[in-house]
Amino acid sequence: MKMADDNFPGWHGTTILAVRRGGEVVVAGDGQVSLGQTVIKGTARKVRRIGPPGREVVVGFAGSTADAFTLLERLEKKLEATPGQLARACVDLAKDWRTDKYLQKLEAMLIVTDGQDLLVVTGAGDVLEPEYDVAAIGSGGNFAAAAARGLMETDLPAEDIARKAMAIAASICVYTNGNLTVERIAG
């Protein structure tokens, strides 16, 4: 028996972008949440800091908000168990996400950074370190990533690249707005 309504338009509307440059990583996320063709909220905060002071991690998420918060809680526990080992915590989370029957149903993606490592974590069991010091997820992710990669050829700092790339994505993707949350973390 299928629980989901095939006619439900689905939630859309996230673009998360991370740019690493000059000893820091900047993660930017737009604020739009859409249901079908309707904007439900324009000020959602999809980029957050987790972990204790001194070992903070910046996380941006795309997908179902409740699912993402479940994953953030799990990631925090993994980070507590393996302090200072972001890659290991992410691999452990991805392994659980792929094998646990409850977690397998979660629909979200994460960009995670401690300022040194920059990782994309998916429910397919992937923990990917992106090339070119740019990572993006969500409905406008490809637009933001393309813009950021082009801007990496300039001398702009990471935050300026992220903001300009997100503005370009917002001008193209109807599920992305210009209301940004931006977090910086030093490497």
From residue 165, alpha-carbon distances to 8, 32, 55, 169, 184 in Å are 31, 16, 28, 6, 16
Q: Which of the residues 14, 15, 113, 176 is marked catalytic?
A: 14
Nearest to 59 by CA among 14, 104, 12: 14
Residue 108 tokens read as 């979200």
Residue 14 annotated in active site: yes
The answer to whether residues 82 and 132 touch, using CB atoms and an 8 Å cutoff, is no
Half-sphere exposure of 19 (CA within 13 A, CB side): 28
- Residues forming the active site: 14
